[in-house]
Every structure is written in structure tokens, then in C-alpha cells.
Structure 1
Amino acid sequence: MTLEQTASNRCFEGEQLRFKHQSQTLGCEMVFSLYLPPQAKTQKVPLLYWLSGLTCTDENFVHKAGAQRYAAEHGIAILCPDTSPRGDDVPDDAEGAWDFGKGAGFYVNATQAPWSSHYRMYDYVTQELPEIAAGFDSLDSARCSISGHSMGGHGAMVIALRNPGTYTSVSAFSPIVAPTQCPWGEKALGNYLGEDHSEWANYDACALIAAGASQLPLLVDQGEADDFLEEQLRTELLEQTCSEQGYAATIRRQAGYDHSYYFVASFIGSHIAFHAQTLAAE
């Protein structure tokens, strides 16, 4: 696979990089951002995957979260993919809605036309990106964790729960915890996967935990002033499911915080420290 580096910026003595490549999984050109901490100059470093939310690209987190400072302190690389396939040949929502289509891949493998030819973000994150990461001499890509925000929080939890032993830990900000039970999820899963709700459950963190998914360290932060909390995010369902299943998740409700990257920036340091602790134990 050929990677083309398109940007490089020095940041906290490390490097913030951006690449583009032709994705075999998605059938289009894709971009991703990669932060290499200063430790990567002399040794292999573990990797944190970050999955962003609706309407985002690979750069929202890079520009707004302030994560590089903490990644440099702990010696962790961060890989941020885009949130969907892109390009003129990639189908989009017919009405141009922001919650479906481009920028809204929901980290699933679509089975329904016309989406199935490109919208395979689950495989892109779990298969193609790790193959790319393994090609970087400075990355210990076998030691990895995963995190995300909103739609990306949903993706991070689902991917970690469905791939036991692959990720040392998972965390999420404002995640869509039960997409089978909220309007965003019902629209996305219905269009991408069709009407078989048993397929939907494969991409629902609450359903996976209820079905007995293996436990791994899980940290969730949810702002209580989040406009999407009641209708779309449904944090109470995750709290209930974890309690019923004895799943030892840390779910923190943060008073006064909304859905924005101001919220993410406020707590990203503790999330990176959380992942650093589990990665160090590997």
C-alpha cells in the first residue's frame, strides 16, 4: 500500500502528520492523521485509535482536543481516521442530511445498496488501518487502545467489544450507546443494514454487553448539559446494562458540559492517562 504524506507539523516535540491513500476496503481515497510523540524517535510506542463523530473529518480532534500534549507526556501515538468514505463516486444522503452518508459512516459494514460498495468503516478501522499502522517502524501497533466521541464513541465501544484481546482499553465521550434505540441510529442502521434488527444488534454496545461481551477497561464521560443526551445518546441505558451484567465500566456524568470539543478537551488528559495505564500493563 502506498501512503502519501500531505502534512507535517512539530507539536510538543513530536510530529503531527497527515496521510492519504487508496483504500481497498472502501474503494476510494482516504486520509488519516497520525501523531507521533517524541519517544517515537528512539523506540516503538503504543497506539491509540481515535474515532470522531457526525460531520467530522480526521482533523477535528487533531485541531481541537489538545490531545498531543498528553500523548507526548505518556509516549502514545494517536491515529485519527476520517468518519466515512469520500469522493464523487461515493453515495450520500439524497437530501444532504448531516446525520447520514458522508461524514456519518457509523463504523459499520453496510449490506444494502448503494451503500455496501463503499461504506465499510468497520473493516477499515479493524483491518486496513492496523495493516497500515504495522508498516510504521516507530509504532508498536500490537499494543493499542481505542476511543471516540459521539458516533465515534459508539464505534470505539462496538469495535472493542467485538474484538476481545485486540484493544487493551476503550473510552468514549458522549457516545451513542444504543443506536438501535435512538433516531440517529435507527436511520443509519436501517439504511446501511436493512430491516433485520438482529444485524443491528451487532453494532449496539448495550446489546453486545447484554449478550455477554468480554470485559475490558471501559471509561465513558458524558456531559449533563448535552442537548443530545435524552433523545440520542441514552447514557442511562449503558448504566443500566452494565449494572445488570456486572460489567465494571466507569461512567462519569459531568455537570455543565455539552456535546462540543470544549468538553472533549476538558477531559482528554484523563482518558489518555487511562489508556496509558492499561497499555503499560501489556
Structure 2
Amino acid sequence: MKVVSTSKSHGGIQGVYSHASEVCACDMTFAAFVPPQAKDGPLPVLWYLSGLACTHANVMDKGEYRRLASELGLAIVCPDTSPRGADVPDEKDNWQFGCGAGFYLDATQEPYAKNYRMYSYITEELPALIAANFPVDMARQAIFGHSMGGHGALTIALKNPQRYRSCSAFAPIAQPSTAGWSRPAFEKYLGPNDKSWRAYDTTLLIEDGKHFPEFLVDQGTADGFLEDGLRPWLLDEACKKAGIDLTLRMQEGYDHSYNFISTFMDEHLKWHAARLA
């Protein structure tokens, strides 16, 4: 692991790090914030997964999480959204696919299967690296994310309920297997048989019996992607049928941007901290 940069903030350390990933077959970069309470012992860790066209840096620069994370004693880890590099296949003119659009799944189709293994990276390789190099308590983990990252957080929590104490999302893609901006990516990564897509679709995972105790979801009513891409009512319906406690808050006038995310970041951090205590 290489240190790209470190900077003191609110008594803690905001770092950016890189490492050679065996899972993604390329160098990967992530951000990690360690609050000042780390001097007293291992801390709970909250994973934040970013959306389409983002990197580790978007939430680090615009998410406004450090002040309260320092007060609450939460370590925050922000992975990249996909593999990157000259040898990683990409569609440079398509922001909904390729670099920046890994969708937190493990691709099975060539030429993407070698590198696009973000599910395994987030659930296996990066946690092992974090546990070995940072003062965190891996028995106290939570996960949240935005848009594509909200989809990732929800699906990862559903498939690993024993690992995460809580899960929340900002404007998640509720049913990516049928949404216009994600269905083409699923076909390229996973092949034409949409039955295999169910493993990475929140609503269909719930339909197939996957369970998580509760979710918190915030969604802006002025989000330009609401009707065609996000469709939180599908998540609401699935959770009601499965008996999952979903708190879905439709936030009047908010859009899809980090102005929306940063407005409600404090509430999500407090919600997770209460469950990680």
C-alpha cells in the first residue's frame, strides 16, 4: 500500500492511498478518514460507495463528513467506483459504462471479467487491506452510498447481512436490471441472460429471499433521474412484501447532486453511529 496524500482535518487524518489489486488486476485508489479517537483503540468503519462517473475523491471533497465523523469516532472508507488504467477495457465516450461505472458487481463477460470485479474488491480484498493497515474494528461495519453506490451498498448488505450492522443510501438505483442507464451495463458485464443479473439487483434479491433488518433511504423530489433511473417506489414495494423496515424519505426540492448528499450526510452518520455503538 502506498500513501498518496494525508492531511489533518477536525483532529483526524484524511488520507488517500493506492495499492496493487489482485482482484481487479490493476492499481486501485481509495480514501480513508481516521478520526482522533483512533489513539484510544479500534474504531467502527463506515464504507461509502460513490455513483456513476465518480472516483474516491467526490465524496471526500464534497460530502462534508469529516467534522461529524470526528465527533462520533467513525472511520470512513471511500473506495473508487471501478478499476482504472491503460490496460483496463473502457468506453471513454460512455459515462454509464466502463471506468467510473463498475456497478459493484463481478463481471463474467470478456473482456471485462479480468478487471471489473468490484463486488469481490469491496467485500474481500479492500476490507482485508483496511483491517491490516488501519485502527478499525471489523466487527463493527456499516455501509452506505449514492446512486450507483446506493445500489451497491444495498445489494452488498443484503448478501452479507452478518457483516454490516446498518445500511443506508442516497438516491439509490432501486432496480438496475430494468433501469435505462444500468441495464446496458449489466448485459455487457454479465451477459444476455438476465437471470444472472438478479444477484446484483436490490429489489430482485429481496424477492429471492435476501434480507436485511432495516434501510434508510433519502431521495430528492427534484432529482432528474427519479422517474426513469432510480424509482424508489420499487424498493418500497419490495421491502413491504418482505417485511424489511425501510425508512424512505422524499426530500422536497433536492436534486441528485452532492448539495443533496451533504445536506443529509450528518443524519446518515448519526443513524449509523447509533447502530455501530
TM-score, normalisation: structure 2: 0.98
Residue number in structure 2 paired with 1:82 = 80
Taking the aligned partners of 1:140 and 1:243, their CA distance within structure 2 comes to: 33
Q: 1:236 to 1:137 in 2, by over 3 A?
A: closer
Residue number in structure 2 paired with 1:41 = 39
* Deviations, residues 83-138 of structure 1 (Å, cap 9, x unaligned): 00000000001x62111000000000000000001000000000001101111351
Could you tell me whether the CA contact under 8 Å between 1:170 and 1:216 is conserved in 2?
no
Give runs of aligned pairs for residues 51-66 of structure 1, distance below 5 A. 51-66=49-64
How big is the shift at 1:141? 2.1
Could you tell me whether the CA contact under 8 Å between 1:168 and 1:217 is conserved in 2?
no
Q: 1:248 to 1:88 in 2, by over 3 A?
A: same
* Deviations, residues 225-246 of structure 1 (Å, cap 9, x unaligned): 0000000001111111112222
Taking the aligned partners of 1:87 and 1:16, their CA distance within structure 2 comes to: 24
1:132 aligns with 2:129: yes
For 1:45, the aligned partner's letter is L
How big is the shift at 1:178? 0.3
Residue number in structure 2 paired with 1:32 = 30
Give runs of aligned pairs for residues 1-282 of structure 1, distance below 5 A. 3-93=1-91, 96-280=93-277
Taking the aligned partners of 1:107 and 1:215, their CA distance within structure 2 comes to: 18
For 1:170, the aligned partner's letter is C
Taking the aligned partners of 2:56 and 2:227, their CA distance within structure 1 comes to: 27
Q: Secondary structure at the match of 2:32?
A: strand
Taking the aligned partners of 2:138 and 2:242, their CA distance within structure 1 comes to: 31
> For structure 1, which segment, 253-262 or 213-222, has the greater mean C-alpha deviation from structure 2 after superposition?
213-222
Taking the aligned partners of 2:139 and 2:125, their CA distance within structure 1 comes to: 14
Q: Secondary structure at the match of 2:48?
A: strand
How big is the shift at 1:217? 2.6
Q: 1:115 to 1:243 in 2, by over 3 A?
A: same
How big is the shift at 1:215? 2.2
* Deviations, residues 148-188 of structure 1 (Å, cap 9, x unaligned): 00000000000000112110010000100100110122111
TM-score, normalisation: structure 1: 0.96
Taking the aligned partners of 1:267 and 1:134, their CA distance within structure 2 comes to: 28
How big is the shift at 1:45? 0.4
For 1:20, the aligned partner's letter is S
For 2:206, the aligned partner's letter is I
Taking the aligned partners of 1:155 and 1:55, their CA distance within structure 2 comes to: 14
Could you tell me whether the CA contact under 8 Å between 1:157 and 1:170 is conserved in 2?
yes
For 1:87, the aligned partner's letter is G
What is the percentage of aligned positions where both structures have the same residue? 47
For 1:13, the aligned partner's letter is G
Taking the aligned partners of 1:16 and 1:174, their CA distance within structure 2 comes to: 26
Deviation >3 Å, runs of 4+? none
